[in-house]
Amino acid sequence: MATETHSATGNGMADVMGVDGHDMATSSTGMPQLDFSTWANQIFWLLVALIVIYLVLSRVALPRIAAVLAERQGTISNDIARAEDLKRQASEAEAAYEQALKDARAEAQAISQNTRDEIKTQVTKATQEADARIAEKTAEAESAVAAIRASAMENVEAVAKDTAEALVAALGGSADTAVISDAVDNRMKG
């Protein structure tokens, strides 16, 4: 980097630095960092600056930011808690709705079941009544048929005895009525 055109032995470091001699007259070295005459000044002002920064930060800024962050954290957790609460309420409402729906469904089922049962009992009753009436009618009819049959049998017996008497008379015999009716009875039984 250095293109020294002439040796800078006589003029000292200020010359080597390429700085005007009087400007760097106070410096003992070529690097400004190693110019110890400015150190006291820099250190003094640095300490002032650091103390100011420390006081400002520790007294004002950091407590404030910490408070804001804590407040924000609190707000966030509050909001989350409230959201949780709302969510819980919503799920409760949903559960209640489900319950109501279930109840309603059960009730409807019960009502329809009841109705069905009622109808069934009515039907059963009606059927039984009808059966009873039918049985009654059947019995009546059967007894009527039996009566008719009995009377018909009687008629047939009488006719048969009459006929038998008439036949016996016609054949020239005289027949005892009792004998004839016994014979007819025997025959009809046979």
Residues that bind another protein (CB under 8 A): 1-9, 13, 15-20, 23-24, 26-27, 29-35, 37-50, 52-54, 56-58, 60-62, 64-69, 71-72, 75
Of the pair 18, 150, the CB lying nearest another protein is at: 18
Distance of alpha carbon 11 from alpha carbon 33, whole angstroms:
20
Least distance (Å) from another protein to the CB of residue 100? 41
Where residue 49 falls (left for φ over 0; alpha for ψ -120 to 50; beta otherwise) is alpha
Least distance (Å) from another protein to the CB of residue 89? 25
Of the pair 43, 158, the CB lying nearest another protein is at: 43
Distance of alpha carbon 2 from alpha carbon 156, whole angstroms:
167
Q: Which of 190, 159, 186, 164 is nearest to 177 (CA)?
A: 164
Of the pair 5, 174, the CB lying nearest another protein is at: 5
Least distance (Å) from another protein to the CB of residue 15? 8
Least distance (Å) from another protein to the CB of residue 50? 6
Distance of alpha carbon 71 from alpha carbon 96, whole angstroms:
37
For the chain, the helix, strand and coil percentages under 3-state DSSP, each to the nearest 5: 80, 0, 20
Of the pair 19, 175, the CB lying nearest another protein is at: 19
